[in-house]
Structure 1
């Protein structure tokens, strides 16, 4: 069944439909004709309202749950509302400041992305999602720090500000100069390369005997690089925060749906594929319920927007996931603003 165009609905039907959707999104309860009749500006009798609601139900835009006399919007109705009738509200000053302060704090990009999901989750009362950049960052600096006798720390810094640390075993008699020499060698030889390219190059250098450093430093270089043998592209691509929000204020009859959604969030690859569909969008994209097979059981909605790097290339997607009863008018601009703030951070 295709969605009824707004142009085919009378103004009376549009007004009643809007009241039903907005009331349902506010409190989650079915909306009856008596409630609608009290809406300012309608001035219609409950009987007239019931007739229009019946028509909207036949169009597939409203449904009557259980034996209730009230109506709720269907997923088709929600799609019609968000695409053609919703009046989005810009994030408040407090919301903008909260998002910017979390994202712009100094630290590795991974920490900023994790903070992004947390702040979005808190502001939207949903679970926050962010898909991290697929492209490997370029390397900037390597260094080694001695932690104790026989143990040290290999530190890798990316040009995007990301920092990764790995604990590694050190020879008991390793000197401070060998630590410095190994770090300087790696920085000079592999700065500006991706980690996978550097790993490939160092293997060739070792085999060809082209490493112009002493044996102690050479052993340290090999130990250090051995801690980064996992291909970065195989690492988890999705950060999820705030799953507990999905359990709060849920009616008992919604718990099965929420549990199903939590199970779906465990399948990060499936969620990542869904978010990938928002990479080409100009602004926030909305996925409602069974429009996506992944949410056919939980009846959930995702609002997602792409963010870009300094070259204007899309590198990831940020968004929220929750029940279809979302405050779309508030959350959609919030997700858009978050994506824009992330893009500014990466420039």
Structure 2
């Protein structure tokens, strides 16, 4: 059922709705009419409050998990609250200092990303996630070294001196001259280019029959590039820390949901796809429960914000994953602040921008 717009709710209904949502987010428990009757500014009897709660339940904004229990917000109610009523609380000075101090520590970029994920997990009591930026270093050369038994070692050298290698299966009868020819050709195409740019250039030349290669060398070129592009596609793109935080005091009552959530987080490609949908956002995006298919069964929420390099280009996404009972008002600005701090921190690393 579609939610009633806030401007169509009277002030009494809005205030009771706000108190129920805030009470539930704070305690994780349904909020009853007796508790609401003692709240400041609510001059209504429990019977009158129950009448308002029933109206909000009919609108699909609240739900009663058990007979005679209090009310808790539905996903539609949470969305209405987050979009129209929430008053965000900026990170405290201590939190800001802790985030910036941690990211200012020297070390490789991978350490900065891992620390960011762990820090968000610690500050939020959720699982912290960072989508790792795609690393596109410029390349220098590629060599194909015979290993025997129908295999060769494909060695990729970056302009920054980084060296990586992969084992390549060779077609029967491949000789050393074909390996050398293929390696020389790929190196010529790769010099000063990223892997993606080199692959595109080679594909164009091969399609146009402009490459001066014999059939064996051509086959090796295609195999050599394929092993690298496939490898890049399989590399993990997420750093996740703090899954244990999801096993909080309320998890005992809902172990199946927590198990489902942890299983969902293990599906790194799908989590990365969800985070990627926040890349174009100006600030944090909030995904509540079934609004995303991945976490629909576990009833979980994601707060994600893109982080940018010094030129303002989006290079990744950072966020938290937890139950729908999150302190959105605190965590949304915290995720945004962390994203900005991480972007500035990565500006220190070569290739981050």
Which deviates the most, 320-329 or 248-257?
248-257
Aligned to 2:99: 99
User: d(CA) in 2 for partners of 1:158 and 1:26?
Assistant: 52
Secondary structure, aligned partner of 2:90:
coil
Cα contact 1:138–1:192 (8 A) shared by 2: no
Aligned to 1:299: 299
User: d(CA) in 2 for partners of 1:167 and 1:77?
Assistant: 52
Gaps of 5+ in 1: 143-153, 169-188, 202-206, 209-226
Q: 1:155 to 1:249 in 2, by over 3 A?
A: farther
User: d(CA) in 2 for partners of 1:157 and 1:109?
Assistant: 17
User: d(CA) in 1 for partners of 2:32 and 2:239?
Assistant: 40
Aligned to 1:342: 342
Secondary structure, aligned partner of 1:286:
strand
Gaps of 5+ in 2: 142-154, 167-188, 202-210, 213-226, 348-353
Q: 1:297 to 1:158 in 2, by over 3 A?
A: farther
Q: 1:342 to 1:53 in 2, by over 3 A?
A: same
Count of residue correspondences: 297
Aligned to 1:137: 136
Cα contact 1:129–1:238 (8 A) shared by 2: yes
User: d(CA) in 1 for partners of 2:97 and 2:228?
Assistant: 37
User: d(CA) in 2 for partners of 1:158 and 1:303?
Assistant: 37
Shift of the alpha carbon at 1:252? 2.3
Cα contact 1:30–1:68 (8 A) shared by 2: no
Secondary structure, aligned partner of 1:293:
coil
TM-score after normalising by structure 2: 0.75
Shift of the alpha carbon at 1:156? 7.6
Cα contact 2:131–2:239 (8 A) shared by 1: yes
User: d(CA) in 1 for partners of 2:232 and 2:163?
Assistant: 14
User: d(CA) in 2 for partners of 1:164 and 1:90?
Assistant: 41
Cα contact 2:28–2:250 (8 A) shared by 1: no
Q: How does 1:277-296 map to 2 (within 5 A)?
A: 277-296=277-296
Q: How does 1:266-285 map to 2 (within 5 A)?
A: 266-285=266-285
Secondary structure, aligned partner of 1:316:
strand
Secondary structure, aligned partner of 1:3:
coil
Shift of the alpha carbon at 1:104? 2.2
Q: 1:100 to 1:192 in 2, by over 3 A?
A: farther
Deviations 1:163-203 (A, max 9, x none): 967699xxxxxxxxxxxxxxxxxxxx9885435667999xx
Secondary structure, aligned partner of 1:294:
coil
Q: How does 1:73-152 map to 2 (within 5 A)?
A: 73-134=73-134, 136-139=135-138
Aligned to 2:262: 262
Shift of the alpha carbon at 1:340? 0.7
Secondary structure, aligned partner of 1:312:
coil
Deviations 1:260-281 (A, max 9, x none): 0011011111111111111111
User: d(CA) in 1 for partners of 2:159 and 2:49?
Assistant: 62
Shift of the alpha carbon at 1:251? 3.7
Q: 1:137 to 1:242 in 2, by over 3 A?
A: same
Q: How does 1:1-347 map to 2 (within 5 A)?
A: 1-134=1-134, 136-139=135-138, 193-194=193-194, 231-347=231-347
Cα contact 1:16–1:36 (8 A) shared by 2: yes
Cα contact 1:285–1:305 (8 A) shared by 2: yes
Deviations 1:291-314 (A, max 9, x none): 111112100000000111222111
